[in-house]
Chains A and B, each alone.
Chain A
Amino acid sequence: MKDVYILAIESSCDETSMAIVKNGHEVVSMVVNTQMDTHANYGGVVPEIASRMHAENITMVLEETLKQAKMKVSDVDAIAVTYAPGLNGSLLVGIECAKVLSLVYNKPLIAVNHLAGHIYANHIDNEMNFPLLALVVSGGHTDLILMHKDYDFHVLGRTLDDAVGECYDKVARVLGLKYPGGPNVERLAKEGQPTYKLPTIMDDGSLNMSFSGLKSAVINLVHNETQRGNEINTSNLACSFENAALGELERKTDLALSKYQVQELIIAGGVSANKHLRSIMENLANKHQIKLSVPPFKYCTDNAAMIGSAAYPLFLQKKFATHDLNASSHLDLY
């Protein structure tokens, strides 16, 4: 079969990224223009700033991506773009750029869901072995998904309130850590002991999860201790929080693996960059004697390579989008 090259665009949050991906799992080139330093000044992503930076950088990111691949847009077979979920104004910059490329070079347009992208990050330099269980953990999602084949997503359980990544960011804030909160909490937790008692989360026997109670407990604890004039051991609190949060993910993933026979466990989304989470999941995979697949670090955070990878099955199925494609900030995958 002829090789398939897809030019993919991702602009759903604070990274302007483009990549050329061959046959869904070989990254020919990838550029990620991150705005993280800018947003760190405000303690989090400011949507309007993100959108402005995407519009300024988009053609330069395109040029660099093509240069690195030593390819022209006319050499690729399709244009893929993230259309949901994400920041509306940011998504639109990538979408309009993709439509113009599709028009000028007469290439099919493929609309990719960002979450499918995170899952298919595991397809880069790798094969996905179905049936599989995917744990999607990010700033917006905490889902356990069963897949029997490509693009067949069954939600077994999900957070009923906050996403685990969001919880990390809030805890980072009350601990006075800089944005991005997740990696900073993780770093601090490594130096501490789980000395603080925090509530254990949801134990209703279902595969659903909840993180808002844990988040509130940490905020209240910091608040109360500050009022009493007691000093907080931030590394111990970070460690106690991380143990509770990751413990919840461990219990529910373990339960899902006991209920469903799968070949492989994959973790996806920004929080999958957490090393502690990776080692917990490795133990679980060993216990259930299945394969664990974790994306390389550079494909855990937002990037266009995963979008190109997730676009490949859609290309094979000829599921193309038309040029009236719109952004959707809250579209679910499943």
Chain B
Amino acid sequence: MWSMFIDTHYKNIVIALYKDDNIMDIVNKEVKKDHSVFIMPLLEELLNKNKITVHDLKEIYVCKGPGSFTGIRLCVTIAKTLAYTLNVPIKSLTSIELASIDNNDSYLVVHENNGVFIAKRDTMDKIKYYSNSAYQEFKTTHKVFENLNPAYEKIPNYLKNKPAENPHSVKPLYIKGISGLDAN
């Protein structure tokens, strides 16, 4: 049974293919801008290379953020449309959870352009945003390790016991509000 993981929460486009929960292939490409130009062609190339079609995918995994606003919208939109149209289960995980797989640090850190998202390992759903300068200060008092190479191969296993979600309700996790908003 084939499944696919999609993640574009920061600079890299990551698409992984699994067969019976074992990783079979992965693209991990850093793109400076215009991610939308590359994601679908890379996804299709990966399917072709492995001689399967999109209809062989029986489960979809997606990283829903936090991270770049546009980035997480792209991968979530693609993943939920895939799951909805293929009528297969979809499971999401946060970028913090992604960083937590296969490491034992007490603080988990995820980068975005102007700062980082941090959560404690034992309360991974409490994610806070720090600007780059606030993060520098945080680092002087806390021991942090930045997991720049998440264990993509372990994602199916990590999500094994999580329930599948309704594709309609999968949405990006922004954490950050919208700057300059002045409701009247």
Indicate whether B148 reaches chain A with its CB closer than 8 angstroms.
Answer: no
Contacts A48-B69, A55-B77, A89-B73 given; does A96 touch B82 at CB 8 Å: no
- Per the bound structure, the CA–CA distance linking A65 and B84 in Å amounts to 14
| Interface residues in A208-252 (C-beta closer than 8 Å to B) | none
B174 to chain A, nearest CB (A): 7
Q: Is the CB of A42 within 8 A of B77?
A: no
What per-residue 1/0 map shows which CB atoms of A91-106 lie under 8 Å from chain B? 0110111011101110
Closest to B82 in A: A100
Closest to B169 in A: A56
Q: Which of A123-131, A298-306, A321-329 contacts B (4 or more CB under 8 A)?
A: A321-329
Q: Of B39, B78, B85, which contacts A105 at CB under 8 A?
A: B85
| Interface residues in B150-184 (C-beta closer than 8 Å to A) | 167-168, 171-172, 174, 178, 181-184
A6 to chain B, nearest CB (A): 17
What per-residue 1/0 map shows which CB atoms of A53-91 lie under 8 Å from chain B? 001101110110000000001000000000000001100
Q: Is the CB of A92 within 8 A of B70?
A: yes
Indicate whether A160 reaches chain B with its CB closer than 8 angstroms.
Answer: no
- Per the bound structure, the CA–CA distance linking A167 and B73 in Å amounts to 32
Q: Of B34, B84, B183, which contacts A59 at CB under 8 A?
A: B84
- Per the bound structure, the CA–CA distance linking A55 and B70 in Å amounts to 10
A111 to chain B, nearest CB (A): 12
Q: Is the CB of A101 within 8 A of B85?
A: yes
- Per the bound structure, the CA–CA distance linking A284 and B85 in Å amounts to 49
What per-residue 1/0 map shows which CB atoms of A36-58 lie under 8 Å from chain B? 00000111001011011001101
| Interface residues in B68-87 (C-beta closer than 8 Å to A) | 69-70, 73-74, 76-78, 80-82, 84-86
Q: Is the CB of B37 within 8 A of A324?
A: yes
Closest to B38 in A: A324
Q: Is the CB of A55 within 8 A of B172?
A: yes
Q: Is the CB of B178 within 8 A of A97?
A: no
- Residues from chain A with a CB closer than 8 A to the CB of B172 are 52, 55
- Per the bound structure, the CA–CA distance linking A163 and B70 in Å amounts to 28
A8 to chain B, nearest CB (A): 15
- Per the bound structure, the CA–CA distance linking A325 and B34 in Å amounts to 10
A146 to chain B, nearest CB (A): 34
- Per the bound structure, the CA–CA distance linking A96 and B184 in Å amounts to 33
Q: Is the CB of B181 within 8 A of A104?
A: no
- Residues from chain B with a CB closer than 8 A to the CB of A89 are 69-70, 73
A211 to chain B, nearest CB (A): 25
* Dominant SS among interface residues on chain A: helix
Contacts A46-B178, A96-B74 given; does A324 touch B84 at CB 8 Å: no
- Residues from chain A with a CB closer than 8 A to the CB of B37 are 324-326
- Residues from chain A with a CB closer than 8 A to the CB of B54 are 103-104
Q: Is the CB of A96 within 8 A of B69?
A: no
Q: Is the CB of A93 within 8 A of B77?
A: yes
- Per the bound structure, the CA–CA distance linking A104 and B38 in Å amounts to 17
| Interface residues in B37-85 (C-beta closer than 8 Å to A) | 37-41, 44, 54-55, 69-70, 73-74, 76-78, 80-82, 84-85
Q: Is the CB of A96 within 8 A of B81?
A: yes
Contacts A73-B85, A92-B70 given; does A58 touch B77 at CB 8 Å: yes
Indicate whether B106 reaches chain A with its CB closer than 8 angstroms.
Answer: no
Q: Is the CB of A99 within 8 A of B40?
A: yes
- Residues from chain B with a CB closer than 8 A to the CB of A56 are 171
- Per the bound structure, the CA–CA distance linking A58 and B55 in Å amounts to 21
| Interface residues in B113-132 (C-beta closer than 8 Å to A) | none
- Per the bound structure, the CA–CA distance linking A96 and B183 in Å amounts to 30
Q: Is the CB of B171 within 8 A of A55?
A: yes
Q: Is the CB of A92 within 8 A of B178?
A: no
- Per the bound structure, the CA–CA distance linking A46 and B168 in Å amounts to 23
- Per the bound structure, the CA–CA distance linking A21 and B14 in Å amounts to 36
Q: Is the CB of A104 within 8 A of B82?
A: yes
- Per the bound structure, the CA–CA distance linking A89 and B71 in Å amounts to 10
Closest 9 CB pairs of A and B: A100-B81, A323-B40, A99-B40, A59-B84, A104-B85, A48-B178, A55-B73, A96-B77, A324-B37
Can you spell out 6 A-B residue pairs with CB atoms less than 8 angstroms apart? Answer: A42-B184, A55-B76, A63-B84, A96-B36, A101-B85, A104-B86
